[in-house]
């Protein structure tokens, strides 16, 4: 079994991105800039944003974090986003989620200029991705896609089963696999016979948020299994895949933690660089 090392893959990607940023600096005499808006003092968001900023600086990007208290008015945030949209020195804008209840998430996402939407959450980017046009792609499914391609460069005709239908993971993951000519089945918590669906798969991406849902006897031999889950349980953090069981049958499997997670931030940096490059065309 191949244990997919997300930490190593992310470090390799960051190394490539670092070289690319140096080349862009020579060519354009400036570097891509990622600006993050962080509202409130929720501990996980603080940690995520600190890691994003640290990684951005590590590969040579400019990064700024704009902080607001939990009580900030929605219009203040929307005005700031509009200002950043107009600012040519800003390549990418990310508003850290979740937001306080009094701020409309959809409004915030739709205010970000699609060409600076490094999360790929704007409906314009969602539509472009599903139409097969160039777009920002949400960072976690992009990371999963890159890990799968490392194991199996030619995905044409493979059967992929995506477990989970979220806008964040399941749906964009499906689009990426379709683009690679996979035959994709989207399943979810209400699917009638999830086990039977999974048993058909050459590739399984589990992103449904149910601890250790995918069992060893759900997976045929030789399947690539990507576990997007991060579930807090009594025995610590576990994925959506029963690691011990599935590692005995899968061809390749991502651990939790240390699989998909590290790729997410590296892909955010990639998206920021890609937004910058498109803006220079
Ligand atoms: N909060 C947790 N994950 C994410 C993400 O991928 N993007 C944003 N903007 N907020 C998040």
Q: Look at residue 281 in the predicted model and tell me its pLDDT.
A: 84
For the entire predicted model, the pTM comes to 0.97
Q: How far apart are CA 100 and CA 231, in angstroms?
A: 22
Question: Which of 34, 46, 97, 269 should be mutated for ligand 1, with most atoms under 8 A from CB?
Answer: 97
pLDDT value of position 147:
98
Q: For atom 9 of ligand 1, which residue has the closest CA?
A: 96
Ligand 1 and 96: CB distance under 6 A: yes
User: Cα–Cα distance between 142 and 106 in angstroms, integer?
Assistant: 22
DSSP-assigned beta bridge partners for residue 185:
161
Is residue 136 within 6 Å of ligand 1 at its C-beta? Answer: no
List active site positions: 52, 96, 119
Kindly state the tokens that stand for 128. 């472009």
Burial 250-265 (b: 16+ CB within 10 A, else e): bbbbbbbeebbbbbbb
Give the DSSP letter of residue 96: P
* Contact between 141 and 218 (Cβ < 8 Å): no
Low-confidence ranges of the chain (pLDDT < 50): none
- DSSP state, residue 120: -
Q: Is 139 in the pocket of ligand 1 (CB under 6 A)?
A: yes
What structural domains does the chain harbor? Answer: 29-113 (3.40.50.10860), 139-261 (3.40.50.720)
Measured CA to CA, the distance from residue 232 to residue 280 in angstroms comes to 43
Structure tokens at 105: 């998430």
Q: Are 80 and 87 in contact (CB under 8 A)?
A: no
The count of C-alpha atoms lying within 13 angstroms of the C-alpha of 234, restricted to the half-sphere facing its C-beta, is 0
145 with 117: CB under 8 angstroms? no
Point out which residues pair with 117 in neighbouring strands: 93
**Looking at ligand 1, which atom is closest to the CA of residue 139?**
6
Question: Hey, what are 91's tokens?
Answer: 């390549």
């Amino acid at each position: 079994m191949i244990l997919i090392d997300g930490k190593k893959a992310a470090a390799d990607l960051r190394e490539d991105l670092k070289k690319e940023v140096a080349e862009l600096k020579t060519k354009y005499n400036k570097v891509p800039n990622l600006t993050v808006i962080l509202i409130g003092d929720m501990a996980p968001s603080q940690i995520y944003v600190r890691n994003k900023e640290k990684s951005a600086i590590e590969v040579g990007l400019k990064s700024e974090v704009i902080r607001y208290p939990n009580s900030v008015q929605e219009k203040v945030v929307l005005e700031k986003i509009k200002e950043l949209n107009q600012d040519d020195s800003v390549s990418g804008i990310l508003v850290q989620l979740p937001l306080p209840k009094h701020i409309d998430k959809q409004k915030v996402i739709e205010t970000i200029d699609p060409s600076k939407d490094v999360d790929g959450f704007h409906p314009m980017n969602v539509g472009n991705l599903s139409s097969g046009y160039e777009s920002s792609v949400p960072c976690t499914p992009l990371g999963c896609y890159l890990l799968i391609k490392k194991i199996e460069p030619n995905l044409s005709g493979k059967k992929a089963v995506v477990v989970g239908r979220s806008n964040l993971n399941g749906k964009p993951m499906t689009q990426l696999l379709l683009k690679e000519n996979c035959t994709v089945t989207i399943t979810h918590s209400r699917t009638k016979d999830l086990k039977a669906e999974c048993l058909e798969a050459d590739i399984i991406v589990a992103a449904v948020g149910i601890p250790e849902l995918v069992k060893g006897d759900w997976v045929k031999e030789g399947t690539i299994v990507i576990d997007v889950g991060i579930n807090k349980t009594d025995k610590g953090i576990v994925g959506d895949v029963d690691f011990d069981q599935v590692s005995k049958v899968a061809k390749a499997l991502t651990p939790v933690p240390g699989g998909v997670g590290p790729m997410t931030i590296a892909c955010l940096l990639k998206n920021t660089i890609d937004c910058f490059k498109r803006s220079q065309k």
